Chain A
């Protein structure tokens, strides 16, 4: 992803980013739950211009039998980008990137869902990206944990997906499209807002240890902010707007 870094100006003279954000400022986040009536639980997350929607079904009997676990449920997670979600249309169907993101998202959620309550079952988590502007896997993880909560699936904690990265040798929070394309590093993380545990972590590019620490500090700061929005979204659905 790190094509031609250094030659594209991503920071303005006043130290702000091209869209006017400060280096430790995330894009606006909006969240709603209960958006898909046919689903048991659902959530809609808009982060910048990204739109991720997730539906949850289950627990139900796991099929085929060979995927059943006698002592717990399995999470069947699909991350999919709608054909119109990107600049060039994506042909529907299997792709390696979606498969990898589905796998790591499932593993992130497995760390918080109380799977042992549902032997031999599966819980289906369907993440659809309707608009992509860098950071869709993170928006997808946030949406998935919200949809699971909305479905009444027991969990130890929610999960917030958020990324920091590096542009023009500067660590910044929540890369947008241009910053992702021309930046030097991307560090997406899945953070449990209450325990502070990390359940998802990827990185590519080039970061010093100090830069990593700063990027992660930004991620934690943003996770706390997004968590407040998540709690408010659940309260809006179930508590007439007050947490």
Chain B
């Protein structure tokens, strides 16, 4: 059941927007505090926890040995999935994966895959016979708004700190997974008629359109996704993209600061 959005809340968000303010006191392009921890889960070969305002997500990396696809005998594979289980919010119901959780997983997956940060050839052990399958699972524990950015950050941080468990599979020595760049997502939602960065829960309640942008190290675009009803102009997008560049760079530094510990 969708939560009711009181008209008073809608009016309030519009009133604040007219004043260039937000319901949680932030500026329009301001981010909430983000905390990143890595390597905290036994059994995951790479793991990360992101606390982003009231949002909490975990990501874990697992490896498996598999036979490569016949048309790509020297390439391993990457799979990224997200689960929006009922633990994360009263609004999520138990049951098979919802369209929302599938979209979430696929948007994060595309940002990482298309950035080319993982060289699929490097996952090959014996051409045509044995390659690594890398699986990232994202577990949303608390949805306090903007789970997309939190999931994207957790996934790339878990990957960049992952150790390939070669010894356990008897195929050589354990080694770090080579991840050559750090794609980062930045999300925007229309609230009170204008776009804001990093929407909080109340700002998402309105159900107006959102835009997710994944930028790589060289500020190339790697994934875009427009979600929910609504439309936007090229000028609005240009403005958003500029904001995204700044925040993606900051968060990339945050990931880098957790590596090699």
Contacts and interface: CB of A to CB of B under 8 A. Distances in A.
A pairs with B? yes
A131 B43 contact: yes
A207 interface: no
B41 A38 contact: no
Contact of B62 (A53, A83, A124): A83
Interface stretch (A14-22, A84-92, A109-117, A191-199): A84-92
Interface stretch (B69-77, B83-91, B172-180, B215-223): B83-91
Contacts, number: 103
B60 A83 contact: yes
Q: Is the interface of B mostly helix, strand, loop or mixed?
A: mixed
A85 B60 contact: yes
Interface string B127-167: 00000000101010111100000000000000000000000
A60 interface: yes
A86 B43 contact: yes
Contacts of B60: 82-85, 130
B54 interface: yes
Which of under 10, 10 to 19, 20 to 34, or 35 or more describes the interface residues of B?
Answer: 35 or more
Contact of B64 (A36, A86, A89): A89
A80 B237 CA distance: 40
A92 to B, nearest CB: 6
B85 A84 contact: no
Interface in A7-48: 35-40, 42
B137 A55 contact: no
B56 interface: yes
B94 interface: yes
Which of under 10, 10 to 19, 20 to 34, or 35 or more describes the interface residues of A?
Answer: 20 to 34
A80 B59 CA distance: 15
B87 A131 contact: no
B112 to A, nearest CB: 16
A187 B158 CA distance: 35
Interface in A100-150: 124, 126-128, 130-133
B90 A84 contact: no
7 contacts: A35-B56, A37-B55, A40-B90, A89-B64, A92-B137, A128-B85, A131-B44
**Top 8 A-B pairs, shortest CB-CB distance:** A84-B60, A37-B54, A126-B87, A49-B42, A36-B142, A83-B137, A89-B62, A84-B44
